[in-house]
Amino acid sequence: MDTLQSILSTFVVVVVVHQLWKLVKAQSQLASRLAHIPGPKGWPLIGNTFEFGKGNALDVLHNTIRLWKTYGTAYLIWLGTRPFIFLIDADEVETVLSSPIHIKKSVTYKFVEPWLGQGLLTSDGNHWRKHRKIITPTFHFKILEEFVNVFNSNGDVMINLWKNKLNGPAFDIYSYINLLTLDIISETAMGVSFNAQINSDSEYVRAVRSASDITLKRTFRPWLFPDFVFNLSSLGKEWRNHLHVMKTTTQAILQNKKLQVKAEQGKNVSHNDNNDNDIGQRKRLAFLDLLLQSPDKLSDKEILDEVDTFMFAGHDTTASCTSFALWALAKHADVQEKAYNEIHEIFGDSDRPATFRDLQEMKYLERVIKETLRMYTTVPFYARELDQELKIRNKLVPVGTTIVISTYHMHRNPEHFPDPDKFDPDRFLPEKMQGRHPYCFVPFSAGLRNCVGQKFALLEMKCTLSKVLRNFKLSTPQDKLVLSPEIVMMSDNKIMLCLELRK
């Protein structure tokens, strides 16, 4: 028996050593083909993993800044045996984003597939093309025009809550904005309001935030890449608890909507009036309605994947940018005054709600939002997995390499944005933008995989920011924010504002 155990043990050791040797050999071969890309020297099997500390958001930001300053606008790091090339140069970024070939998302997006499934954010190939074609009409401008009513009504709830903060100490605004955007996306996309601003202890919001944090940690811990290892870890157990909350919530929304559609059909509700003036009203619930009514007959699983994707992508991102924009307005009194003057020219002293046309006229406020997206980039990194070779620095980069578009660093590149740490909305005046590289500012990505909801997001943020400025004068005790690039950009030291009533 002892002899058999010894033989088995030896066999296992030999197999493990052989597999490790194959990994080291494959890594060495990849490294030789990537030698033209500078970067820190990595160790066999573990690469540069430990240079990123514990893999938390602050470690990631500090180290990517350091690597940019050391190695330039294209550098290579290894996470385990996987090569990641970070791109900051706009020409090289254009090569990736403008390509109809390199649209496959990074392997790290697989980490959120149990949550988002094969939605627009994570899918690729024909599946992605089919769903993009179905979803794009959901953002017809007539539909967006109707959504302004939802922006206004939910924004009024937040304004009333903030009136309790008048002339008081500074308070953290992010949780308020996050709940506002959650109410907006749930109502506009699915016709269901969580009333999260009133019932502020939202289990769903906590689950989304925690799941995002776990995903980031896993990305920089290669030993957690294999699912079976991750599932056995404490992070994996916590992830499954959050996943249950999120999936249960959106499944309930989908089933309720299907019941509503069935009830309407039973009442023989007529939808024969197809004139343009009616499209916004009929398509008020355009996103979920369109998926349910699609001639492509999407399965419940496909619909649920898109619902989960939009519930995530449609609230956390806008909450991030809106919060940073309010802080920037509070910090820069001259910018706040210009934005308020523009809004006052539109509304005067009236308290009427904003219309779609009003929001389109807010040109300076739009520049404020764009400058916020530049300095506090909502999605600081996004990545593509190469399934075909790509030429970078006049040499081919092999299949299996992950290309990371480092938007945070690119938006602070002084080559395109002089004095990059200065908040200056006039950078986005038409005359200032002439001659600027079209791919040096890509907060919503670009090319085929650009953000389908960017117009929706801009309208929502304009409506919220203008509503706040019409009611309050903003200030902040904070000298600076400590940026923390989680799945979306956050502030590690909160975002604190003080409010005075706008006379």
Binding-site annotation, residues for heme: 451
Q: What is the dihedral of CA 465, 471, 477, 478, to 10 degrees?
A: 0
Element (H, E) at 490: strand 489-491
User: How far from 443 is each of 96, 141, 433, CA to CA, in Å?
Assistant: 15, 21, 15
Hey, which residues does 397 pair with through a beta bridge? 390
Task: Please tell me the distance from the alpha carbon of residue 137 to that of residue 336, in angstroms, as a whole number.
Answer: 35
- Phi, psi at residue 389, to the nearest 5°? -65, 150
Please give the structure tokens belonging to residue 263.
Answer: 């009830």
Q: Decide if 140 contacts 283 (C-beta within 8 A).
A: yes
Q: Decide if 398 contacts 386 (C-beta within 8 A).
A: yes
Hey, which residues does 87 pair with through a beta bridge? 74, 405
Element (H, E) at 14: helix 2-33
Hey, which residues does 82 pair with through a beta bridge? 79
Q: Decide if 147 contacts 459 (C-beta within 8 A).
A: yes
Q: Decide if 396 contacts 77 (C-beta within 8 A).
A: no
Helix axes 333-347, 454-471, angle to 10 degrees: 90
Centre a 10 Å sphere on the Cβ of residue 137 and count the other Cβ atoms it contains.
11
Binding annotation: 451
Helix axes 141-162, 174-190, angle to 10 degrees: 150
Hey, which residues does 383 pair with through a beta bridge? 404
What single-letter amino acid sits at 336? Q
User: How far from 172 is each of 70, 175, 177, 319, 498, CA to CA, in Å?
Assistant: 36, 7, 10, 13, 9
Task: Please tell me the distance from the alpha carbon of residue 284 to that of residue 270, in angstroms, as a whole number.
Answer: 15
Q: Rounded to an integer, what is the distance from CA 362 to the centroid of its chain?
A: 24
